[in-house]
Structure 1
Amino acid sequence: MLHDFPKSYWRDVAGEKTASLQADIQADVAVVGAGIAGVVAALELAERGRNVVLIEAAEFGSGATGYTTAKVSAQHGLVYAELIKTLGEEKAKLYYEANMDALRYLTDQVEQHQIDCDLERQHAYMYSDASSSSAKLLEKEDEAYAKLGINGGDATDEVNGLLPYEVKKATVMRDQLQFHPVKYLQGLMKRFLELGGTLYEMTRVTKIEYGTPHVLSTLTGHTVSARDVVVATHFPFNDFKGLYFAKMEIERSYVVAAEVDQFPEGMFISVDSPGRSLRHIKRDGKKVAMFGGENHLSGHKEETKKCYEHLGEFAERHFGVDEFTHHWSAQDMITLDKVPYIGRMTNDTPHVYVATGFSKWGMSQGIVAGRLIADLITSQPNRYEDLYDPTRSKWKLSDAARFVKTNADVAKEFVKGKVKRADKTVDDLGFDEGAIVNHDGEHVAAYRDPEGNVSLVGSNCTHMGCTVNWNNAERSWDCPCHGSRFKPNGEVIEGPAVKSLPPKN
């Protein structure tokens, strides 16, 4: 049984509120986005003597970092065999080492600042329990691990002694981490504020005027001027700079959580379809298990409640779960070559930096991003700069194919939204139901809440005009083109859109 409204386990932790921006200000560095990438970057820069202001559109820790599975690992699915093939063995090894450095940084920060964030060392397992083709891919990943000197490899017999169902093939990466991401960010934020850093919440940045300094405009009507700007907003709100909207796919995935009597040590992810992600956390002498998966392109599925139901059925069938304490969803950006874009946003804006495209592994990649960008701003050498460079232009054939497919899908969704008929009217809506309706001769996004109150807003995403779709589990309007999401009243939940859907009468 699921609670009616989604709720993240990590968001149960209360934090102190800070004010929104109420005046025009100046700083050495403006960091936009107070998730793991933004907070790590802000702290690193404050430690190095920079005057840093951190700006968050909602509440601190309420973005992607608060809706993760919180695995901190260099095992990012079936990635290393592919990276060796597309980028070469040297860069594949750099990718692994960058993420392992992130694990060491996390451990050091937790120890140094005495952060109570439930940090635990766990082995990370990938497995296939259904597909022979997936098992063969795991064998290739074992070979890649051996080439790159990764501590791990075949673990089929080991996993068959851990999971309550049989697997055909399994691969392990030893000594990875899991933690409580919001508690961790709270610890880093405390240190950042002690160093004189400033945080503004409920302050959405809407545009950048590029210059010396750059000037950020906000919905509060005030501006922030800074020589260096870090855009760590998950999806860049200024994505037209560098055409980032054309270089990433956006996926949603889902998690259900429950107290369990028995659950194996370790973090698990299946490479079959549909995929499943498993981990646990120890709380008050009990284990809370988290079951994730049901990925799909953002805005492409309306009956999202079924995603939670499928995960619930899996948990019940294999782990005897019948009551769930939390459920939530997340959004992920996936780049053309599976490597995040971290660094200078474009060649003609050397003091504007971006961190995006973490491909579902933002806890380690976010730390990589924060440290790398801090090094770039302070002119410190970083051996991962070229690997993650957002302006890298030597596309492989596979990158070009993904670019064409991604943008063809966007074009298809744009046209589909414009030609689709609105068969319903406002009067046809049931309680707690949303739909694109025909209202006074135009298509309008309409929602009737459980009390019968109706919200009417424009149906075209304010980013690039695609028609939004209703998401019945999250009660949101989701754009199928670039993943912008809006509340029933049109307010932006997450970008790239920065403007609300306009109200309709």
Structure 2
Amino acid sequence: MNEPLWIDTGYPRDQFPEAQGSLRCDVCIIGGGIGGIAAAEQLAKAGKDVIVLEKDRILGSTTSHSTGKVTAQHDIIYSKLIKQFDLETARTYYQANERAVRRAREIARDDEARPLDSILYARTPLGTENLRKEWEAYKQIGIQGAFVNETELPFTVESALSMHDELQIHPLRFGQRLARMAADAGARIYEDSAVRKMNFKKRFVELENGGDVTFSELIICTHYPLVGFQNLNIMKLQVNRSYVVAAKAATELKNQYLGVDADSLSIRTAGIDGQAYLMVSGSNHLAGMKEETGENYGELSEHMRKHFGVTDVSHRWSAQDPKTPDYIPYVGRLTEDLPHIYVSTGFRKWGLSGSLAGSEVLRDLIVGRPNEAIQMYSPGRTGFGAKLLQAVKINGLVTGELATGYTVRLDTPTCTHMGCKTRWNEGDRTWDCPCHGSRFREDGSVLEGPATKPLKL
């Protein structure tokens, strides 16, 4: 399987123990990505006794497979939020994520982060029209930026929209620093501690190794919720997969970029220990819907060669991201009937700033502080039309995959989550499930949930 640049260049890893025996805590967090670690740091600083449970190594999955952008510029989003909700919702979303950018700048050292502008670019008239609408939204909200018709990119663009003074990070190094801050504040972090069972009423989780953790509050910070809880609306999370290639470069770009057209690409550079790297990402599709994913890496490598003259790809990796129907993540109480159970998911490829923003929401919910973003992020928020449409679409996909999977791909392993047939991903050498995005290593072990049990090969 392919190795991300970040894992290859992270700090020496701290060793966290395996959870054993019977443990107790105020807050148990399942998932040791940036979302779980950030929530642990915030809650431990607020005086809570916190335990983090990670089934593998912390920060090794989604966090280390990201592009490392920490920004409130989440593609074209603010004009959509104003149209779908209102101006105040769009402003609240921006302020929550911009606070996350500022917090990241305060935490990070120079070898972990670099301030710069985030820029959206368009190469078509339709893209330019959409950027103009987004620029109008920026002005209504009060976002500092600029609408221009040229960039430093080595190809022609029709227009571009900048958001000033954002951030890019080395996500693993940054996460390692945040984990140390969480531990120093008293959080107990455990690795190789997979959860086997959760009992919401009795408030404890059982571990695969036979241990257990009793909690007062539980936060599920896994990339995709572990199981299909009742009322979670699990079918309303669409899972998309994207690809990244990286290569050594002579210089760094001044800013970081994202295209807004149908074939849009994300472009940034990273300076790591004196060496510049160029990163190009994109080539998106629904998770588990493609077998020959080597083609996706090839497309990105060709773009790098054609426009930047770089041919020696040193790293390549892929990531998948859940997306909610209304663009806003689910962060908060699972349901009003289970006020002590929380989820954090659906960040739509913007999980670094989103997780940092979400950690403040989770902290304030649990300690009882006011936060204007709580209602906006609530998993129980209303908004019938878009959600119903998305639910019908994805329910249809699951039904189709259950049927065709058993009639066309009889020789492929069955996903241990809900019985869909997996597809072999040749580019990453993984088994991918097209129904809910579970991924398994070549030997059948779980790489990403919601599945928790290995494949039977």
TM-score range, shorter chain: over 0.9
- Flag structure 2 segments of 5+ consecutive residues without an equivalent: none
Question: Match for 2:155 among 149, 165, 182?
Answer: 165
In the aligned structure 1, how far is the partner of 2:271 from the partner of 2:113?
A: 10
Corresponding residue for residue 345 of structure 2? 356
Tell me if 1:28 matches 2:42: no
Corresponding residue for residue 107 of structure 1? 105
Tell me if 1:404 matches 2:392: yes
Asked if the contact 1:39/1:189 (under 8 Å) is kept, the reply is yes
Corresponding residue for residue 7 of structure 2? 11
Corresponding residue for residue 46 of structure 1? 44
Asked if the contact 2:20/2:212 (under 8 Å) is kept, the reply is no
Deviation at 1:273, TM superposition (A): 2.2
Tell me if 1:60 matches 2:58: yes
Of structures 1 and 2, the larger Rg is shown by: 1
The amino acid of 1:42's aligned partner reads A
SS of 1:325 mapped into structure 2: strand
Tell me if 1:195 matches 2:189: no
Corresponding residue for residue 255 of structure 2? 266
Corresponding residue for residue 194 of structure 2? 204
Deviation at 1:104, TM superposition (A): 1.3
Give aligned-pair identity as a percent.
37
In the aligned structure 2, how far is the partner of 1:228 from the partner of 1:332?
A: 26
In the aligned structure 2, how far is the partner of 1:490 from the partner of 1:366?
A: 29
Corresponding residue for residue 498 of structure 1? 452
The amino acid of 1:472's aligned partner reads E
**1:171-191: CA deviations, max 9, x gaps?**
111111001111111112112
Tell me if 1:467 matches 2:456: no
In the aligned structure 2, how far is the partner of 1:165 from the partner of 1:196?
A: 50
In the aligned structure 2, how far is the partner of 1:200 from the partner of 1:241?
A: 28
**1:265-311: CA deviations, max 9, x gaps?**
10001111222001111134332111000110000000001111100
SS of 1:398 mapped into structure 2: helix
In the aligned structure 2, how far is the partner of 1:192 from the partner of 1:243?
A: 29
In the aligned structure 1, how far is the partner of 2:428 from the partner of 2:372?
A: 41
Corresponding residue for residue 440 of structure 2? 486
SS of 2:219 mapped into structure 1: strand
**1:84-140: CA deviations, max 9, x gaps?**
110111101111111001111112233xxxx454211111111112x2222211111
Asked if the contact 1:260/1:319 (under 8 Å) is kept, the reply is no
Asked if the contact 2:232/2:335 (under 8 Å) is kept, the reply is no
Question: Taking structure 1 as reference, are residues 489 and 284 closer, same or farther at Cα in structure 2, changes over 3 Å only?
Answer: closer
Deviation at 1:192, TM superposition (A): 1.9
Corresponding residue for residue 80 of structure 2? 82
The amino acid of 1:94's aligned partner reads T
Question: Match for 1:141 among 124, 134, 152?
Answer: 134
Runs (4+) off by over 3 Å = none
Tell me if 1:122 matches 2:122: no
Deviation at 1:263, TM superposition (A): 4.3
**TM-score scaled by structure 2?**
0.96
Asked if the contact 2:232/2:334 (under 8 Å) is kept, the reply is no
In the aligned structure 2, how far is the partner of 1:189 from the partner of 1:369?
A: 16
The amino acid of 1:407's aligned partner reads N
Tell me if 1:375 matches 2:364: yes
Asked if the contact 2:195/2:206 (under 8 Å) is kept, the reply is yes
Of 235-244 and 65-74, the range deviating more from structure 2:
235-244
In the aligned structure 2, how far is the partner of 1:242 from the partner of 1:57?
A: 25
**1:342-388: CA deviations, max 9, x gaps?**
00011111011110000000010000111110111111111100000
**TM-score scaled by structure 1?**
0.88
Deviation at 1:444, TM superposition (A): 3.8
Deviation at 1:195, TM superposition (A): 2.6
Of 81-90 and 8-17, the range deviating more from structure 2:
8-17
In the aligned structure 2, how far is the partner of 1:195 from the partner of 1:310?
A: 45
- Flag structure 1 segments of 5+ consecutive residues without an equivalent: 423-442, 446-458
Q: How does 1:300-319 map to 2 (within 5 A)?
A: 300-319=289-308
Corresponding residue for residue 451 of structure 1? none
Q: CA RMSD in A?
A: 1.4
Asked if the contact 1:260/1:287 (under 8 Å) is kept, the reply is yes
Corresponding residue for residue 153 of structure 1? 146
Deviation at 1:16, TM superposition (A): 2.1
SS of 1:350 mapped into structure 2: strand
Corresponding residue for residue 176 of structure 1? 166
In the aligned structure 2, how far is the partner of 1:127 from the partner of 1:321?
A: 21
Asked if the contact 1:102/1:367 (under 8 Å) is kept, the reply is yes
Asked if the contact 1:117/1:184 (under 8 Å) is kept, the reply is no
SS of 2:338 mapped into structure 1: coil
Asked if the contact 2:111/2:273 (under 8 Å) is kept, the reply is no
Asked if the contact 2:36/2:221 (under 8 Å) is kept, the reply is yes
Question: Match for 2:330 among 320, 338, 341?
Answer: 341
